[in-house]
Structure 1
Amino acid sequence: MQIDFANLELAFKEHEKEFLQVTGEVMSSARYILDKETEELESHLQDFVGSTYALGCSSGTDALLLAMMALGIKAGDEIITTPFTFIATAETIAFLGAKPVFVDISEEDFNIDPNLIGAAITERTKAIMPVSLYGQMADMDAINAIASKNGLAVIEDAAQSFGATYKGKRSCNVSTIGCTSFFPAKPLGCFGDGGAVFTDDQELYDKMKAMRVHGQVKRYTHKYIGMGGRLDNLQAAILNVKIRHYHNDIERRQWVANSYSELLRSKISIPKVQKDNSSVWAQYTVRVPEREKVQSILKDKGIPTAVHYPIPLHLQECFTYLGYKKGEFPLSERCAKEVMSLPMNPYLTKEEIQYITNNLLKAIL
């Protein structure tokens, strides 16, 4: 049996007629950038999330940049975040000349540990950037309370959690600014690249909207230093189709995760969803000993796996200048050596899940 990790081909075929219709309309209209499809998507996004404002942009990475630029983050500022995440989280901080300040994770959900944030705050700290890793949000009440006490903004890096909930509120609507990604392999993904920012603050929204188009407030009138962060209408049109079906996709992803958990529980370290959370299961990530050996065995059986992420950010060569040493964030380092993501998509069948779990258990036992 050959398993598909994300099954993007089926994601297209399932709604092929709708995709071809809407993309054909965009191409025949010759309206390619920031037009009615993007405006329609932004309306869908804010309704889905519950935020006052939503703004489509060119990628999840650019979403993080727009958020920090609107907040006035500058060289020498510090932003507290996690070292156990994709490079874009800290890379965007450094790109603006600010300093990523890492704190370790909670071993239960792989997200930033709020109990460690306070000790990392200095007079230079301007924001906290929790990452909603693998589809589940961090303890946002605790993080927001710390931020409020210290006069800090909170930017949720929700690249993996669009559609997840925390105490009944959607990811991207629990902080000063929420940022997400529509990279093809995300739970809600387009067929190229795309992202969005969310806020309830009109001033921040207006700034991000201008900064998305080179700081322009009207044609050739530039109030801010901005960027070329526009979302193209082809991707917006595709997302308008996909978001109509997204509740069903979330339910199917949850069924896949429940099926995995039922078959693996008590036999292997499986993901834990915290009491007040729901996950959209961007990844189904287990922890295994002798990971490379297990991956090799599964590969031979036609089962792809992935590691998100094998090297914590504080140990990446590009962040050597920060001065962190091996051993400073032991939980992040330990998890990085053990985590392994299994195939996760809405199209996995009962037979495929049984095949994956049977072979996984044989490989580790």
Structure 2
Amino acid sequence: MIPFVNLQKQRDFYKNEFLEAEKEVLDSGCFIGGPQVDNLEKELVDYIGLPDLQAISCGSGTDAITIALMALGLKPGDEVIVPDFTFIAPAECVALLGGTPRFADINNQTLQIDPESVRSLITDRTVGIIGVDLFGQCAPFEELRRISDKHGLWLLEDAAQAYGAKCGNQTACTLGDISITSFYPTKPLGCYGDGGAMFTRDSQLAEKMRMLANHGSKGHYNHEILGLNSRLDAFQAAILRVKLRHLKDELTVRRENARKYDDFFSLPDFIKKVCGVNPQFIEQTNESTYAQYTLLLEKRDKFIEILKSQGIPYCIHYPNTLSQQKCFREMVGEETQPITPNAQKATKQALSLPVCAFSDVEEIITRLKAASCACI
């Protein structure tokens, strides 16, 4: 069976580097914070290439959103605009802090948050916008920045799937007042547990987020604000430092894998004709990390039958819009459900194929071609 994300093959490829990094941590006796974490934060910034950027590591991508929202001053009753088609974390973190998520529709080709929908949701209680770099492509942050500046809102970039992506001459993790990423194992840059990071060029926000991630403390037993226990451990930092050294090469392979899929699905073959296949549209000025290679399918069930017949793995991201989830449906109220037709359509059409640097994409395409020939 072909794995969706081949972490075992990746691990085997870098095995000696991982063993050396793990031994270094064990020999140091420093397991929380310390030189591994400090060096990782510096290397994350060096990779992006903005010397005034600061990276603050934490326990997970979800923690990163929570800490960012706390640093931005989110209060109970504040409204934050989030896309309706994404993972739950952005809206969940807003709600857990007492805020109200307002759900925006998406562009039906890029699958990113729709600026026009964002504009329609702004009220006198709106304090911020969260743009999500879905599936590794940057959200339309240039337009989102114009909206946020006009209305005096903060802008948070959820780049959980997009560390290493590009948006014109800008880089993911630099597009918001605060940007976050996740190091969940299946991300393009993932550790072997949970982990995350926050990025900002605002030194005051950076200092506050460091405190928030460490029980609101600058030093031992000196707690200036209420915070969390959200610290990246040294083992995860060491793993990430190894993977970061190879990230540029892995992203090159991911993009080449995506190109191979693009070429295949551009052909007028049986699968495209019967299933109505349209890959996620990537803006010409963007470079996606291809956290997933995502298709929109007019007949998704038919395509799934073909995949199963050929032993090809797939994932559905995401089967429900956020506003349709029970927790938010009850919060928003049945009578005031948002109007997000593109997001709802995406939940019925989106499907992702393996694309990581260690996936055998040529074998997958060979099997798809065989299925096409068999059906003609």
Same fold (TM over 0.5): yes
Change (3 A) 1:362 1:101: farther
Q: CA separation in 2, counterparts of 1:364 and 1:307?
A: 24
Change (3 A) 1:123 1:19: same
* 1:176 maps to amino acid: D
**Structure 2 portions without partners, runs of 5+:** none
Contact 1:155 1:178 in 2 (8 A): yes
Match of 1:140 in 2: 141
- For the aligned residue pairs, the C-alpha RMSD in angstroms reads 1.7
* 1:315 maps to amino acid: Q
SS of the residue corresponding to residue 156 of structure 2 reads: strand
Change (3 A) 1:160 1:350: closer
Q: CA separation in 2, counterparts of 1:362 and 1:181?
A: 40
Corresponding position: 1:341 with 2:342: no
SS of the residue corresponding to residue 250 of structure 2 reads: helix
Q: Identity of aligned pairs, percent?
A: 40
Corresponding position: 1:10 with 2:9: yes
Match of 1:221 in 2: 222
Corresponding position: 1:275 with 2:273: no
**Deviation of the 1:24 alpha carbon:** 1.6
* 2:29 maps to amino acid: A
Corresponding position: 1:32 with 2:42: no
**Deviation of the 1:354 alpha carbon:** 2.1
Contact 1:45 1:54 in 2 (8 A): yes
Q: CA separation in 2, counterparts of 1:289 and 1:155?
A: 33
Q: What TM-score, normalized by structure 2, do the two folds share?
A: 0.93
Match of 2:310 in 1: 301
* 1:31 maps to amino acid: C
**Deviation of the 1:35 alpha carbon:** 0.8
Q: CA separation in 2, counterparts of 1:102 and 1:363?
A: 43
Q: CA separation in 2, counterparts of 1:146 and 1:334?
A: 26
SS of the residue corresponding to residue 198 of structure 1 reads: strand
Q: CA separation in 2, counterparts of 1:195 and 1:165?
A: 19
Match of 2:322 among 313, 326, 335: 313
SS of the residue corresponding to residue 197 of structure 2 reads: strand
Deviations 1:173-203 (A, max 9, x none): 0110000001000011111111100000000
Match of 1:323 in 2: 333
Match of 2:83 in 1: 82
Give the stretch that moved more between structures: 58-67 or 324-333.
324-333
Contact 1:59 1:196 in 2 (8 A): yes
**Deviation of the 1:356 alpha carbon:** 4.5
**How is 1:96-135 mapped onto 2 (pairs within 5 angstroms)?**
96-135=97-136
Contact 1:259 1:353 in 2 (8 A): no
Q: CA separation in 2, counterparts of 1:218 and 1:312?
A: 42
**How is 1:37-52 mapped onto 2 (pairs within 5 angstroms)?**
37-51=36-50, 52=53
Q: CA separation in 1, counterparts of 2:305 and 2:18?
A: 37
**Deviation of the 1:85 alpha carbon:** 0.3
* 2:10 maps to amino acid: A
SS of the residue corresponding to residue 290 of structure 2 reads: coil
SS of the residue corresponding to residue 269 of structure 1 reads: strand
**Deviation of the 1:219 alpha carbon:** 1.1
**Deviation of the 1:300 alpha carbon:** 3.4
Q: CA separation in 2, counterparts of 1:356 and 1:38?
A: 43
Change (3 A) 1:245 1:277: same
**Deviation of the 1:364 alpha carbon:** 9.0
**How is 1:205-216 mapped onto 2 (pairs within 5 angstroms)?**
205-216=206-217
Aligned length: 364
* 2:310 maps to amino acid: K
Q: CA separation in 2, counterparts of 1:284 and 1:122?
A: 36
**Deviation of the 1:265 alpha carbon:** 1.4
Deviations 1:116-167 (A, max 9, x none): 2122111111110011000101111100111011111100011111110001
Change (3 A) 1:360 1:328: farther
Change (3 A) 1:105 1:350: closer
Q: CA separation in 2, counterparts of 1:10 and 1:362?
A: 31
Q: What TM-score, normalized by structure 1, do the two folds share?
A: 0.96
* 2:139 maps to amino acid: A
Match of 2:297 in 1: 288
Deviations 1:97-116 (A, max 9, x none): 10001110001110001122
Change (3 A) 1:37 1:298: same
Q: CA separation in 1, counterparts of 2:151 and 2:207?
A: 25
* 2:317 maps to amino acid: H
